[in-house]
Chain A
């Protein structure tokens, strides 16, 4: 495969994939050994994808009569509420929470993983004073940027998809005795996992690339980039209050908007990711 860019004094050269993957491997090896990066990166997905469905499953066992989900169902569109309202009470809670409400909350996972790793990969290089050494190696600016993007993207998708696989097992296991069939994956989850989650991961990368250019440490970049999570909180609050219900259409639309935003951010980041600019700040 040949990717090429043209720009000021940049010649068209194919991507040197062995070099790109060498950087990705090195960065991920280093990340794996960094407890400060790995623990928060795995903690949130574990809570969201394993602990939370377990708790919901246990809570569902205690439900015998009409639940609060009934009042919530009044607030959401009929086309979504009616099929859930027709289910037995225990099944309502499981289907509603695991099948629908958690889906936007799940987006925190790819966002957080990509942002944390990007902060380590970009600003962290400055903090560890390894950036200059990297700049003195025969790597094109484009390949270095691509490697750093992949360093964030690969684990973000791996954790997201791996987490979703675990969530699928746990969610279906806890609801097996109450629900007829599988709660997840449903269409909304599939849209979230394969369309919105990669976009969100790229958005996190795009933002952290910009933020890292202005930061000297990974921690500083994380603090500055922390605001990235706010839109997702709005989305989640909107979902849980019925103000903004993320159904498949909304998911596809939101995903498309995020892809465009992320693409723009990454494109701008790539243009500004030059040796000269980086070396001027270290």
Chain B
């Protein structure tokens, strides 16, 4: 059963095109306010997932529940409460920025006056007021993406589906868009599903990552937790001001979840199963009056984790020799 804080839930969600499986039995749960990065190479099933979640495609098998609604049966209601940024901005080049946004506002049921106000607000928010009445044909990729994002946010959606939001953007525009997505999630509590193969941006803003490979969900979790599975624990450095004594090492070794420990000139380096274990180690040291001058959990980046997973999948796909 979907809990009240579950924004998205899928069960065995599958879809094929012309006999080719694009998505194969996706089981997924995304909490309200969470930012989930949907990662994978081209053709992994990211866009298909977004389309299925938003009720644009019908599943061959399985179900998708978004905001408590069945995406297939209540697609229009789901789409009323979600905002989507597609990989291509999807702007009509013959219309102005204002007209493109105004059209979306009217479709979303706003009165002419309310639509005009929201459009003006969004154009201002995205610093596009000066270009409001220009045809979008002359816009740069960055401007088009910003306008498309403004359109996706026009109605304050509860869930944002962002499909490659920064593809084609220059570094500054990428940073701006990434910051905005982060702000939406952190300050406005929006649930965000970020389908991308740009790992840097995903790593900066996503709480969890889900890795799709040939239509199958191969891994999901926090990068730290996935890293712990991949590399037999998360490495952490503890600065004690001097090499750790044997009593300190014994104390650390006795804590459940500590996989490995070794002495360093300034203390010790340990491998812990998860972040909670690291917290227990620090509590134990404090409880035994051990001076700790610094502690650093070496967090694996999303990029590190992703490529490690990709290598693992590639190895698994290789025929046994």
Q: B-contacting residues of A (Cβ < 8 Å)?
A: 9, 18-19, 22-23, 26, 29-30, 33-34, 128-140, 275-276, 279-280
Closest 4 pairs between A and B when the two form their complex, measured CB to CB: A133-B90, A136-B84, A22-B106, A30-B94
Task: Identify 19 residue pairs between A and B in the complex whose beta-carbon atoms are under 8 Å apart, listed by A's number.
Answer: A9-B72, A18-B109, A19-B109, A22-B106, A23-B107, A29-B94, A29-B95, A30-B94, A34-B94, A130-B92, A134-B90, A136-B79, A138-B76, A138-B77, A138-B79, A138-B108, A138-B109, A275-B75, A276-B57
- For B56, the chain A residues whose CB sits under 8 A away are 132, 135-136, 275-276, 279
Interface size class of B (residues with CB under 8 A): 35 or more
Chain B window 68-93, contacts with chain A (Cβ cutoff 8 Å), 1 for yes, 0 for no: 00001101110110101010111111
Assuming A136-B79, A139-B107, is B57 touching A9 (CB within 8 A)? no
Does B224 reach chain A (CB closer than 8 Å)? Answer: no
Chain B window 122-153, contacts with chain A (Cβ cutoff 8 Å), 1 for yes, 0 for no: 00000000000001000000000000100100
The closest CB in chain A to the CB of B76 belongs to A138
The closest CB in chain B to the CB of A33 belongs to B94
CB distance from B89 to the nearest CB of A (A): 8
A26 touches B91 (CB 8 A): no
A137 touches B79 (CB 8 A): yes
A136 touches B107 (CB 8 A): no
A18 touches B106 (CB 8 A): yes
A138's partner among B57, B92, B107 (CB-CB below 8 A) is B107
How many contacts A-B (CB < 8 Å)? 81
Q: In whole angstroms, what is the CA distance A136 to B104 when docked?
A: 10
B73 touches A9 (CB 8 A): yes
A137 touches B104 (CB 8 A): yes
Q: In whole angstroms, what is the CA distance A23 to B107 when docked?
A: 8
Does B51 reach chain A (CB closer than 8 Å)? Answer: yes
Residues 31-67 of B at the A interface (beta carbon under 8 Å): 51, 54-58
- For B57, the chain A residues whose CB sits under 8 A away are 275-276, 279-280
Assuming A132-B86, A132-B88, A280-B57, is B95 touching A139 (CB within 8 A)? no
- For A130, the chain B residues whose CB sits under 8 A away are 90-92
Chain B window 111-127, contacts with chain A (Cβ cutoff 8 Å), 1 for yes, 0 for no: 00000000000000000
